[in-house]
Amino acid sequence: MTSGLLDQAPRAGWARWRRSWWYHATVYAQTWRGSVAGAILFPFLFLLAMGVGVGHLVTAHVGQVDGESYLDFLAPGLLATTAMQLGEGESLWPVLGALKWVRTYHAAVATPLEPEDVLAGKLSWVTTRGVATGVIYTVIIGLFGALHSWWALTLPLIGGLVTLAFAAPLVAWASGVESDGAFVVFYRFGTVPMFLFSATFYPLDAYPGYLRPVVQLAPLYHGVALARAAASGHGATPALLAHGAVLAALALVGITVGRRRMRRRLVD
């Protein structure tokens, strides 16, 4: 099946890794109905419950959060957390399954594709989904009136960057393990704490002083800060460049390690 889908991809002018991307796109074209409702309904309901519902209570008892309404504060951060969850969900069990159980990637390298093409196709597809999800979230955030700058047009790109920053290291990790036992541990002690404690739901200065450096070490914190700055149009340029550099560095390290591990797993 894999070889057939790859062979159906346009050949003229297409690099090999794009055939791998085409495979993922073709598979998703047959399964997208199972995810599209959640991609639209969940952010709407979450913003309605947290941004409007809880936001009303926050406004009544606290007032503004970092100089803006709680809805404006929360909404961009949810885009970043969703991008993180997408990067994780597409990169742990799916990659291990394709390498160990279903062996889809072994079928792929039986074609003219190299392991590096398999990796590039996977990461480019996950990033594509991150950008598409960012578009949906941006539209929904806009419907709630929580966008206040033309820089908000960059939110889908920020979503793609956050997705890649998580997906690349996690794909590299999944490419080098034989068991999924540690994945659950990572989810419980990595993903969930980052979701709750990366300044998504309350500002950095709400944390005790000794915890603030810990929060700032979390990769998600940098994605939340970028998304919030884009939605509001406020933010110091050096700080924003630093946030973007951290995410780009994570992606680069993941790609570098992933290339070696994918080749070792599939060829060596």
Task: Please report the pLDDT score of residue 12 as a whole number.
Answer: 36
CB atoms inside a 10 Å sphere around CB 243: 23
The proportion of the chain whose per-residue pLDDT surpasses 90, expressed as a percent, equals: 69
pLDDT for the residue 6:
52
Read off the pLDDT of each residue in 7-11 and give the average, rounded to a whole number.
45
φ, ψ of residue 68 in degrees (nearest 5): -145, 165
Q: Residue 102: helix, strand or coil by DSSP? A: coil
Residue 40 has pLDDT above 90, yes or no: no
Give the model's confidence band at 9: pLDDT under 50 very low, under 70 low, under 90 confident, else very high.
very low
Give per-residue pLDDT as tens, 228-241.
Answer: 999 999 989 999 99
Residue 65 has φ and ψ, to the nearest 5°, of -115, 115
Q: Cβ distance 246 to 164 under 8 Å?
A: no
* Amino acid present at 91: S
- Residue bearing tokens 């956050």: 162
> Is residue 11 over pLDDT 70?
no
The C-alpha atoms of residue 119 and residue 99 are separated, in whole angstroms, by: 12
Residue reference for tokens 């993941």: 254
Q: Kindly state the average pLDDT of the residues 183-210.
A: 92
pLDDT at 51: 80
pLDDT tens for each residue of 148-190: 999 999 999 999 999 999 999 999 999 999 999 999 999 999 9
Confidence (pLDDT) at 5? 52
Q: Tell me which residue has tokens 């914190």.
A: 221
Q: What is the pLDDT of residues 212-231, one digit of tens each?
A: 999 999 999 999 999 999 99
pLDDT of residue 166: 97
Give the residue, 41 or 253, on which the prediction is more confident: 253
Residue 6 tokens read as 């790859």
Neighbours of 191 (CB within 10 A): 19
